[in-house]
Chain A
Amino acid sequence: QSVLTQPPSVSGAPGQRVTISCTGSSSNIGAGYDVLWYQQLPGTAPKFLIYANTNRPSGVPDRFSGSKSGTSASLAITGLQAEDEADYYCQSYDSSLSGYVFGTGTKVTVL
């Protein structure tokens, strides 16, 4: 049902860099609406990671970075750590739905 598509899973060894894509359309990301990212550890509430496409809230390590281009956005995690193993979700606004939408979610596994 989600209008923002993410890969189901990505993995990497400790210290490596992984990226997660978030693909939308002309009614959400492509329309210029900001993309946000959340990290969700098992059994917990999501944690705010990135806002306005590229910005980190206070306290979020600079290992996490966001980017946006056209109808897509990406989250990069550099220097991957065991504690980064979690589910990650993108979020934006959709004008055709007149509401906020989340991505399908990506599970990051640290090998």
Chain B
Amino acid sequence: QVQLQESGPGLVKPSGTLSLTCAVSGGSISTIHWWTWVRQPPEKGLEWIGEIHHRGGANYSPTLKSRVTISLDKSKNQFSLNLTSATAADTAVYFCARKSSYSYGYDYWGQGVLVTVSS
């Protein structure tokens, strides 16, 4: 059973960089799957941030593309999110997820981590 676990600081200062890691267990990150970040501001809906594949491909939301980098570490079986120039609007629960092999839906999710951007 694949499990994903997000980790990282729960508080980021405005203009700082939001950095999160998603550890994958129960399966290799070097598979056919794409690995994804999704966020959810408090009391709001889901927003797709971007995705990465172990063969090097990455895709980002056009609204966040200038500030987002997603990377993957095969040796640690994890992938990461960096979001620069953070503002209060980036305050959200951040989820990592695995895209299924048979559709572009997400079949496994982490529990999510709340990141607050505040001084």
| B-binding residues in A (CB < 8 A) | 1-2, 34, 36, 38, 44-48, 51-52, 55, 57, 89, 91, 93, 97-105
**The residue from B48, B102, B112 contacting A102, defined by CB atoms under 8 A apart:** B48
Q: Which B residues lie at the A interface, using CB under 8 A?
A: 38, 45-48, 59-63, 95, 97, 100, 102-107, 109-112
Contacts beyond the supplied A46-B95, A99-B59: 17 A-B pairs with Cβ under 8 Å:
A2-B45, A34-B103, A38-B46, A38-B105, A38-B106, A45-B95, A46-B106, A47-B109, A48-B105, A52-B102, A91-B46, A97-B61, A97-B62, A98-B59, A99-B61, A100-B104, A101-B48
Q: How far is the CA of A14 from the CA of B47 in the complex (A)?
A: 31
Chain A, Cβ-Cβ closest to B59:
A99
Nearest opposing residue in chain A for B102, CB measure: A51
User: What are 21 A-to-B residue pairs whose CB atoms are below 8 Å?
Assistant: A2-B45, A34-B103, A34-B104, A36-B103, A36-B104, A38-B105, A45-B97, A45-B110, A45-B111, A46-B46, A48-B107, A51-B100, A89-B46, A91-B46, A98-B59, A99-B48, A99-B60, A100-B48, A102-B45, A104-B45, A105-B46
Give chain B residues whose Cβ lies under 8 Å from the Cβ of A45.
95, 97, 109-112
How many Cβ-Cβ contacts under 8 Å join chain A to chain B? 64
> Which residue of the partner chain A has the closest CB to B110?
A45
- Chain B hits for A55, CB < 8 A: 103
**Chain A residues with Cβ under 8 A from B107's Cβ?**
48, 57
CA gap between A60 and B56 in the complex, in Å: 33
Q: Is the CB of A89 within 8 A of B45?
A: yes
B48: chain A residues at CB < 8 Å are 99-102
Report how far A103 CA is from B99 CA in the complex, Å.
18
For A36, the chain B residues whose CB sits under 8 A away are 103-105
Q: Name A98's closest neighbour in chain B (CB-CB).
A: B62
Would A102 and B62 be within 8 Å (CB), given that A36-B103, A48-B100 are in contact?
no
Verify B46–A44 contact, CB threshold 8 A: no
How far is it, in angstroms, between the C-alpha of A103 and the C-alpha of B47 when the chains are bound? 9
Q: Is the CB of B105 within 8 A of A51?
A: yes
Say whether B111 contacts A44, CB under 8 Å.
yes
